[in-house]
Amino acid sequence: MKIGLAQLNYMIGDFNGNFEKMKTAIEKGIAENADLILFSELSVCGYPPRDFLEFHHFINECSTIIQKLAEFCGNKIAVVVGAPSKNPSKNGKDLFNSAYFIADGKVQFLAHKTLLPTYDVFDEYRYFEPNHSFDIFEFKGKKLAISICEDIWDTGEENPLYKINPIAELAKLQPDILFNLSASPFNYNQAKKRIDVVRKNATAFNLPVFYCNCVGAQTELIFDGGSLVVDAKGNVIDEFDYFVEAIKFYEINNDNTITQNSEFKIQNCSSIQLIHDALVCGIRDYFKKLGFKKAILGLSGGVDSALVLVLAVRALGKENVLSVLMPSQFSTSHSVDDSLKLLENLGSPHKIIPIKEVFDVYDKILQPHFENKPFDVTEENLQARIRGNYLMALSNKFGYILLNTTNKSEAAVGYGTLYGDMCGGLAVLADVYKTQIYEVCKYINKDEEIIPNHILTKAPSAELRPGQKDSDSLPDYSILDKILFEYIENRQGPDEIEAQGFDEALITRVLRMVNRNEFKRHQTPPILRVSPKAFGSGRRLPIVGKYLES
């Protein structure tokens, strides 16, 4: 049997566009004399559709595409494709998250997802009824089992999330091949975990596994692909490239060994390279799927805005990214010089719009109302908000999307100004810690100096008052980021963090800053997710609370 895997970039709700992508893959499969092509989870409608699933029209559109696929395939090829299906029972949720096996012009078999994740960014039990029964089917002399994404992730760890192992249930029926349709979001640890999980299932149940993941970004969620073919002994036969679409074919022989039809290239990427590639993918798809082409950002001479500029240029093209330099009376000369050198290296356009004149007008008008109180964070925030207004005005006038340059360290402790440097249409770096920012910049500079070295070596500063440095307000990032990582990613409390050798007073200060600034994070743009625990839908905390306040 010749099996194809189609790792494609879908768009949520773009039914015709998704169909055309699958149609192209099917045509290629027919040309390759393939027997079957496997697509990814909810590929008909795109993943995650979220509350679109509550609209009957949306579900009917999915059904229409399933029928179109069946008609197009006819008796030339079979497909396994993901889409919601209606629950015929009045009991339980109205929908299943399903895989459709289509052959000979009609749906021959339906498999439903058993394990419906409700952790981190997932909320599938909100919409779907879990599968309650297990079955396999025969095709071309092979008994096939179909699973969907989470169903393969229960591999017998000490603290499993679920009480049932769907693959173990399917294995009792003695299938020859296991298919898995996935929409598994990227984080920088996911690729290694994915291979481990698929290999464990293959060896535990002595089954070759064909695992098809989607690729591309859906707002804040990024999908890296990395589709896999693993034989029954756990050998990785092939791993697809990350962040690109691909269609590949494999022969599964009578003895269930697998013959690959293309050269297998091991993906050996560092977490920093993966973060870089994911962010470029996230920017590119956010703009493409929204129908925008041009970005704008404030270029400060600091490392964060420098990195966002490079990533945006790589995603959108140098001519499509406008940098705006907005020096004040507190800006150092090297901030402008460093920015201009970076722009020269990239060949990207820019504007210089000083803010002092407008700031002085604000200051003059407000001074009588400030009751002669001294310069403080109020005047600092005024500068950030003037810059935000400049950027939003240019965005409105010319149709740019404003890229936010806040990093995760700043977002965590609230080191940013609402309606100032925290505004924008997309937060590119808000899931990347400051220490990781420098590592990504070093990766960018590995072959040549694109980001000027002085940007990477000077002390970070918001330059909102004379001689200001981030270290005036925050602990050193090398320490801060470690505490934040333990609290945010590892969900460790103050006692557990202190046991790792950190100062008790510093821990208390940092954790209080994180909790007190939840209100700011609720007002930030969508954050591209690259870590196992990002701010946004995957981290849900109350704005009003008293945890760790006493």
Number of H helices and number of E strands within the chain?
16, 20
Q: What is the bridge-based pairing of β-strands 401-404 and 426-427?
A: parallel
Q: How far apart are CA 181 and CA 498, in angstroms?
A: 43
Instruction: Report H helices in 347-452.
Output: 356-366, 377-398, 408-413, 434-444
Here the tokens at position 65 are 């595409």
End-to-end Cα, the chain, rounded Å: 65
- Name the residue among 265, 269, 274, 191 with its Cα closest to residue 225: 191
Strands 321-325 and 350-352, bridge-based pairing:
parallel
Going from the C-alpha of 50 to that of each of 42, 213, 349, 433, 526, the distances in angstroms are: 11, 19, 38, 29, 16
User: Rounded CA gap, 11 and 286, in Å?
Assistant: 11
- CA dihedral sign of residues 35, 40, 46, 52: positive
Cis status of the peptide bond prior to 48, with omega within 30 of 0 = yes
Q: How far is CA 399 from CA 73, 294, 402, 417, in A?
A: 42, 7, 9, 24
Q: Which two tokens mark 96?
A: 């299943």
Instruction: Answer yes or no: are the C-beta atoms of 263 and 257 closer than 8 Å.
Output: no
What DSSP letter does each residue of 105-118 carry, written as one string? TEEEEEEE------
Which tokens is 146 given? 């179909």
- In this structure, what token pair is assigned to residue 404? 């936010």
> What residues contact 180, with CB distance under 8 A and at least 6 apart?
146, 147, 148, 149, 151, 152, 198, 209, 210, 211, 212
Rounded to whole angstroms, how far apart are CA atoms 208 and 201? Answer: 9
CB distance 143 to 136 below 8 Å: yes
Q: Encoding tokens for residue 259?
A: 């013959």
Look-up: residue for tokens 């090398």?
478
Distance separating alpha carbons of residues 336 and 386, to the nearest angstrom: 18
User: Which amino acid type is present at position 401?
Assistant: I
Under a CB-based contact definition with an 8 Å cutoff, are residues 234 and 202 in contact? yes
List residues bridging with 178 in a β-sheet: 145, 209
Catalytic residue positions, numbered: 41, 113, 149
